[in-house]
Structure 1
Amino acid sequence: MITIQSALTGLLLGGLYALMAAGVSVTWGVLRIINLAHFGMILISAYLTFQLASDWGLDPILTLAVTVPAMFVAGGALQWAYDRLGISELNSLLASFGLLIVIVQLVSNVWSADFQRMSAAVNPYATASVGIGRLVFPVTTLLAFLVAVAFIAAAELVLRRTFAGRALRAFAEDRTIASAFGIDHRRLGIVLGGLSGATAAVAGMLFALANALTPATAFEWFGIVFAVVILGGIGHLTGTLAAGLLVGALSGVVSVLLSPAAAPFVLFTAIVLALLLRPRGLFVRAAQ
């Protein structure tokens, strides 16, 4: 029963991993930008959630009314800068990592390097749970799972059923041909960057609901998020969701059967095997 509980809890937590990875995956796959500053936007959003809930008494979920527009603008502006400066895929990795360092230092200066956590008085979600038989699931992980599924489903619908979505997919396949057919990739890129920033805001809020915050937390997300991106297939949102759930469940089971310290070893072994056997991702069809 403990193993089942851990696997299901990890599976639900995988929704948060998928949501964190979605913005990185889609900007990398479509715009050819490896945007490590995305982690910084998640971090800032988490701290803003903490600040607005603790000082202003806002419900943590309602802080999205502030953080989502702010991160949408930040994400769009960042993509505009990448495009205007003509930053290549490799250079974007270096430039965005430098920007992440700046963001982490800024957060340290504003909120200090000490642990910060919302109190139970302003964050009732942290202690709430839902029981199904003998299984108990924290509300925070259930919420992360439901939000991730809803977001991925909506994003896939937009990409496959709307003109803007089809234009983005065409641009990802062949930029030259897409531009020849009149697709304004710069404007679409800015919108996509903004939407990526909006997902960072939601992920930051969900992380802050269940966890203590430190500026260095942003670096701890690297391994999990890139594992999800690689296993799911770069730019494939449905695969990102499936990979997030897989990574979460695998980490939960390994932590119980072996130890929490063994979870990264098993996870990165899986990444190496995936790169060797399915380099385009576990959940990407060969024809794609």
Structure 2
Amino acid sequence: MNVIQATLSGALIGGLYALMATGLSVTWGVLRVINLAHFGLILVGAYLTFQIAVSWQIDPILSLVVTVPALFVAGAAIQWLFDKLRLSEFNSLLVSFGLLSITIQVVSNIWSADFQRMPAEINPYATGSVTLGRLVFPVTTLMAFGLALLVVVGAHLVLRRTFAGRAMRAMAQDPAVAGAFGVDHRRLSVLLGGVVGATAALAGMVFALSNALTPETAYEWFGTVFAVVILGGIGEVVGTFASGILVGVLSGVVAAVWSPATAPFVLFSAIILALLLRPQGLFTVAGAGGVR
């Protein structure tokens, strides 16, 4: 029963990993930008959720009314800056890491480096759970899984069914040819940056519901989120969701069967093996290009 609980709980936690990773995967796959500042936007989204809920004494989910538009603008501005500087893929990694470091310092200056957590009277979700027989599922992980599913399904439908989505896929495969057919690269890239910022607001809100916050937390997300992006296939939104679940399940089962301290070792050993055997990603369709 413990293994079953760990497997299902890990799958739900994997939804949060996927929610964090989807924006990073899409911008990398479409715009050829490795945007580490995305972690900073998630961190800001988490702290804004905390601040709005505590200051206004409202349900933290309602903070999305403020954080989604705010981080949409921030994400669009960051992408505008990348386009303005005409950064290469490698240089975008360096510049975005600098932006992430600045963001973490600003967050630390505003909220301090101490742990922050929403009180229980404002955040009932932290202790809420759903019970099915002997299985218990925290409300926050169910919420993360549901939001990740909505974001991934929405992104997949937009990329496959809309003109803007087809234009983004064309831009990912050959920007020059896409431009020759009238695709406005800059406008689409800024729009995509904004949408990715909005997903960071969702991820930050969910994280704040179930975790204590500290500015250095953003650095802790690196390994797991990058593992989800690489295993899912860069730009593969459905693959990102699947790999998030896979990483969550593997971490949960190892922690339950062996020990929590061993989970990172087993996880990254499995990732190295997977990349050696299938470097394009576990869930990338052979011969497929661009984003899916």
Q: Shorter-chain TM-score: which interval?
A: over 0.9
The within-5 A match list for 1:44-193 is 44-193=44-193
- The residue that corresponds to 1:227 in the other structure is 227
1:154-180, Cα deviation, whole Å (9 max, x unpaired): 110010000000000011011111111
Cα distance per residue 1:96-146 (max 9 Å; x no partner): 101111110111110000000001000000111000111010000000001
SS at match of 1:136: strand
Q: Residues 206-235 of structure 1: CA distance to partner in whole angstroms, max 9, x if unpaired?
A: 000000000000000001100000000001
Q: Report whether the alignment pairs 1:21 with 2:21.
A: yes
- Residue of structure 2 equivalent to 1:282: 282
**Cα RMSD, aligned residues only:** 0.6
Corresponding residue for 2:245?
Answer: 245
Counterpart-to-counterpart distance in 1, 2:188 and 2:118: 37
Q: Deviations over 1:189-222 (max 9, x none)?
A: 0000000000000000000000000000000000
**With structure 2 as the length reference, what TM-score do the two structures score?**
0.98
Please tell me the residue identity of whatever aligns with 1:134: R
Are 1:4 and 2:4 an aligned pair?
yes
Helix, strand or coil at the partner of 1:130: strand
**Structure 2: runs of 5 or more not aligned:** none
* Match of residue 203 from structure 2: 203
Q: Which residue of 1 aligns with 2:216?
A: 216
Q: What TM-score comes out, normalization by structure 1 length?
A: 0.99
Question: Size of the alignment, in residue pairs?
Answer: 288
Q: What is the deviation of 1:149?
A: 0.5
Distance 2:46 2:201 in 1: 7
Once the two structures are TM-superposed, the CA of residue 276 in structure 1 deviates from its matched residue by 1.2
CA offsets 1:39-60 (integer angstroms, 9 cap, x no match) = 0000011000000111111211
Q: CA offsets per residue over residues 218-270 of structure 1, 9 Å max, x none?
A: 00000110000000000100000000000001100000111111111111112
Alignment partners' CA distance in 2, 1:229 and 1:155? 15
Indicate the SS of the match to 1:157: helix
2:281 aligned counterpart, secondary structure: coil
**Structure 1 unmatched runs, 5+:** none
| Counterpart residue type for residue 225 of structure 2 | V
Give the 3-state SS of the residue equivalent to 1:131 in structure 2. Answer: strand
1:194 aligns with: 194
Supply the distance in 2 between the matched residues of 1:214 and 1:282 (Cα, whole angstroms): 33
Moved over 3 A (4+): none
Match of 2:260, SS?
Answer: coil
- The amino acid of 1:122's aligned partner reads I
Separation in 1, partners of 2:270, 2:32: 25
SS in 1 for 2:235: coil
Match of residue 43 from structure 1: 43
Matched-pair identity in %: 69
**TM superposition shift of 1:148:** 0.5
Aligned partners of 2:278, 2:185: CA distance in 1, in Å? 30
Question: What displacement does 1:287 show?
Answer: 2.1
Distance 1:31 1:277 in 2: 27
